[in-house]
Amino acid sequence: MREKCAVLGIRSTQNVFDSIYYGLYSLQHRGQESAGLAVYNNNEIDVHKDMGLVSSVFENVFLEGKVGIGHVRYSTQGDTRIENSQPITIGYGGGSLAIAHNGHLVNGVELKEKLKKKGAVFTTDTDTEVIAHLIAQEHMKTGDFVNGVGKAMKKMRGSYSLTLLKDDRIIAVRDPNGFRPLVYGRNGNQEVVASESCALDSLGVPFVRDVKAGEILVLGDKIESIRKTRDKASVCMFEYVYFARADSVIDGISVYKVRKNLGENLYRAAPVKADLVTAVPDSGITAAIGYARASGIPYGESLIKNRYLGRTFIMPRQEERERGVRIKLNPIKSEIEGKRIILIDDSIVRGTTIKKLIDQLRNAGALEVHVRISCPPILNPCFYGIDMQTSDEFIARKFRVDEIRKEIGADSLVYNNIEDLVDAIGLPRERMCMACLNGEYPLEEEQKKLVS
């Protein structure tokens, strides 16, 4: 499971290149495929973007400008195209515009077809270009850019945290459901919007507040906040469970704390006697720490992760796939041998990796392996920006929990249930999107209720 992207926008009294560089670097966990930035300078927008990590894309590069936006994009095998990298810049009747987008439009294809029928021409496969068209259109209709953004929002259904660069202003936009995070910070020199608060921290810029669901926040000579939609926030629970960096705070909730709570709840849900609480690194570590605290069972590392898997690392050929897990994660025999182990991870998608890890633990002498999973079983696809393989591959769709346990070879297997998840996050249940767990997609009906 991979999320699509992070966005950033900075308006400063000085050149913003360095700040965008370091800011994007702190958001790199949200996308390693490509990186880019656009700055406004001398009435023009300059862009630099390329495939690769932030550190290599901007090697030997410098763009002048005091206002700019940035983007990182997730990594996939296969057909990744430089054309799809962001920010996207367009020229239209209202001038120039650069746009960076995190999320996914549910009605992107539909909007694109409508726009095409009216004569629109697209050069990329991205939702982002669709959004750019909508904004351009509405800007030209209304004659006011920010107004146009608001009108465009009413046509867009789905998730979008956007940073727009229009002349010397940054316009930050978060969809009415606030599926994806977006935060705002400021110090004496600069104003920053970013996908996660860890970017503010890395820049030494104090957090001010989250951009609100449905809000248009304009960073210009003065700051304006516009909300044209009724707030029907439904933030993605998986940001807390897995995607966001543990040091980020989303909508007032510490990601780290949520993960620790999830571990504690896992203990309370089904206590089991054991000698060691351990995690699948890095995704299960914080929950394991929480579990250990609640249970009093000591926390330890049992699997060491190789940290040097580069972009071009060649995984072993098909016939020897099991080697793959061994190369990435290696058990520590001395810590495992003769112990009853609780192994914690954030989620199970297809179950193939956890099965091999359990095997490794048993080979290293584990007496028992009890698996605990922070996230309730994932049953449904996400339409709001998370790239899950076809839901057909979800092991939880094919098997009941006890069958999964057998399949992966665990002595016991316990997931948090939805109540425990809600409790761990601490937001009201109705303010979260948990469609992948319970099938209740917030947009089908909610969208109609948007204030017009």
Active site residues: 5
**Closer residue to its own copies in complex, CB, 250/422:** 250
109-117, 170-178, 215-223, 392-400 -> range binding its own copies (CB under 8 A): 109-117
Cα dihedral 96, 102, 107, 111, rounded to 10, equals 10
160-168, 221-229, 297-305, 384-392 -> range binding its own copies (CB under 8 A): 297-305
312 lines the binding site for its own copies (CB under 8 A) = yes
189 lines the binding site for its own copies (CB under 8 A) = no
Of 109, 140, 223, 270, the residue at the interface with its own copies (CB under 8 A) is: 140
423 lines the binding site for its own copies (CB under 8 A) = no
The answer to whether residues 14 and 66 touch, using CB atoms and an 8 Å cutoff, is yes
**Closer residue to its own copies in complex, CB, 82/451:** 82
Of 307, 338, 428, 448, the residue at the interface with its own copies (CB under 8 A) is: 307
321 lines the binding site for its own copies (CB under 8 A) = no
Task: Provide the minimum distance between the beta carbon of 202 and its own copies in the complex, in angstroms, as a whole number.
Answer: 5
119 lines the binding site for its own copies (CB under 8 A) = yes
Pairing of strands 215-219, 223-227: antiparallel
55 lines the binding site for its own copies (CB under 8 A) = yes
438 lines the binding site for its own copies (CB under 8 A) = no
Task: Provide the minimum distance between the beta carbon of 365 and its own copies in the complex, in angstroms, as a whole number.
Answer: 12
257 lines the binding site for its own copies (CB under 8 A) = yes
Residue in 240, 295, 239 with CA at minimum distance from that of residue 268? 295
Task: Supply 186's token pair.
Answer: 């400021």
H/E segment holding residue 216 = strand 215-219
Residues belonging to the chain: 452
Q: How far apart are CA 134 and CA 388, in angstroms?
A: 27
Of 293, 340, 362, 405, the residue at the interface with its own copies (CB under 8 A) is: 293
Site for its own copies in 346-385 (CB under 8 A): none
**Closer residue to its own copies in complex, CB, 271/316:** 316
64 lines the binding site for its own copies (CB under 8 A) = no
The answer to whether residues 346 and 323 touch, using CB atoms and an 8 Å cutoff, is no
AA identity, residue 32: Q
128 lines the binding site for its own copies (CB under 8 A) = no
DSSP bridge partners of 174:
161
Instruction: Supply angle C-alpha 192, 194, 195, rounded to 5.
Output: 170
Task: Provide the minimum distance between the beta carbon of 134 and its own copies in the complex, in angstroms, as a whole number.
Answer: 10
Of 175, 251, 335, 411, the residue at the interface with its own copies (CB under 8 A) is: 335
80 lines the binding site for its own copies (CB under 8 A) = no
AA identity, residue 251: D
54 lines the binding site for its own copies (CB under 8 A) = yes
Q: How far apart are CA 293 and CA 300, in angstroms?
A: 12
**Closer residue to its own copies in complex, CB, 60/390:** 60
232 lines the binding site for its own copies (CB under 8 A) = no
Task: Provide the minimum distance between the beta carbon of 294 and its own copies in the complex, in angstroms, as a whole number.
Answer: 10
Task: Provide the minimum distance between the beta carbon of 37 and its own copies in the complex, in angstroms, as a whole number.
Answer: 14
Q: How far apart are CA 342 and CA 169, in angstroms?
A: 51
Size, binding site for its own copies by CB under 8 A: 84
**Closer residue to its own copies in complex, CB, 37/249:** 249
Task: Provide the minimum distance between the beta carbon of 392 and its own copies in the complex, in angstroms, as a whole number.
Answer: 23
Burial category of 171 from C-beta neighbours within 10 Å (exposed 0-12, middle 13-18, buried 19 and up) = buried
Neighbours of 205 (CB within 10 A): 24
**Closer residue to its own copies in complex, CB, 96/352:** 96
**Closer residue to its own copies in complex, CB, 223/327:** 327
Q: How far apart are CA 405 and CA 56, in angstroms?
A: 43
Pairing of strands 368-373, 412-415: parallel
Q: Reduce the DSSP state of residue 253 to 3 states and report it.
A: strand
Q: How far apart are CA 396 and CA 348, in angstroms?
A: 8
Of 13, 78, 117, 439, the residue at the interface with its own copies (CB under 8 A) is: 117
**Closer residue to its own copies in complex, CB, 116/400:** 116
Site for its own copies in 87-106 (CB under 8 A): 88-93
**Closer residue to its own copies in complex, CB, 99/413:** 99
82 lines the binding site for its own copies (CB under 8 A) = yes
231 lines the binding site for its own copies (CB under 8 A) = no
Instruction: Write the CB contacts of 357 (distance below 8 Å, at least 6 apart in sequence).
Output: 280, 303, 325, 329, 343
Q: How far apart are CA 67 and CA 13, in angstroms?
A: 9
DSSP 19-70: HHHHHHHHTGGG--SEEEEEEEETTEEEEEEEES-HHHHTTT-----SEEEE
